[in-house]
């Protein structure tokens, strides 16, 4: 077995990415502190053709050098927008027909593996601060809450890991339904 070279991977260029049909998912980052986490989310969004990333509150925005370093160019391909208020953004997304879902540990949260992703809906997935998670105000305003099951001693995953797990799950469920 031979490792493939980058030229052999048949990836889109930035123009091709912008023209490609997107996964009906937007990501909302609610007060993310780590610039490396933000950059990593951009790379995941690029990998799975996410529509847009919304950077809210204290979340840094491109072209910050530490975001760009981890994003490896994905800040050029993935659409993004800064919004000061996550709750105001949620209202706007709901008015555009998005189902708004917080990814958090909460009462009555649905486990990710049990969530049926509909090919007829658009989703806004909210991920929270590395220490405090998604704020209670945002959880309360969400249409639902998803939880990633965990079985070890720790009670949380890194936000960039959580984004990767959830986006992969949505992408694979959407593509297996087609």
Given the structure tokens 């050029």, which residue do they identify? 76
Given the structure tokens 């490609």, which residue do they identify? 20
**Tokens at 140, concatenated:** 């309360």
pLDDT, average across residues 113-131: 96
Q: Which fold has domain 22-176?
A: Alpha/beta knot (3.40.1280)
Q: Return the H-helix or E-strand segment holding 91.
A: helix 86-95
Q: What is the pLDDT of residue 16?
A: 93
Radius of gyration of the chain (CA): 16
Q: What is the pLDDT of residue 2?
A: 95
> Cβ atoms within 10 A of the Cβ of 12, count?
13
Query: What's the pTM value of the predicted model, to 2 decimals?
Result: 0.95
Confidence of residue 178 (pLDDT cuts 50, 70, 90): low
Over residues 126-156, the pLDDT tens digits come to 999 999 999 999 999 999 999 999 999 998 9
């Amino acid at each position: 077995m031979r490792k493939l070279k980058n030229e052999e991977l048949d990836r889109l260029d930035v123009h091709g990415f912008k023209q490609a049909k997107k996964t009906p998912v937007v990501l909302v980052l609610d007060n993310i502190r780590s610039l490396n986490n933000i950059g990593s989310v951009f790379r995941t969004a690029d990998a799975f053709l996410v529509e847009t990333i919304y950077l809210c509150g204290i979340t840094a925005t491109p072209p910050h050098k530490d975001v760009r370093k981890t994003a490896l160019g994905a800040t050029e391909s993935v659409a993004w927008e800064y919004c000061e208020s996550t709750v105001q953004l949620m209202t706007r997304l709901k008015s555009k027909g998005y189902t708004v879902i917080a990814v958090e540990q909460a009462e009555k949260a649905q486990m990710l593996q049990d969530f049926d992703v509909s090919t007829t809906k658009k989703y806004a997935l909210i991920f929270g601060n590395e220490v405090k998670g998604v704020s209670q105000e945002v959880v309360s305003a969400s249409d639902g809450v998803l939880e990633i099951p965990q079985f070890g001693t720790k009670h949380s995953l890194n936000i960039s890991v959580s984004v990767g797990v959830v986006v992969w799950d949505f992408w694979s469920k959407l593509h297996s339904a087609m």
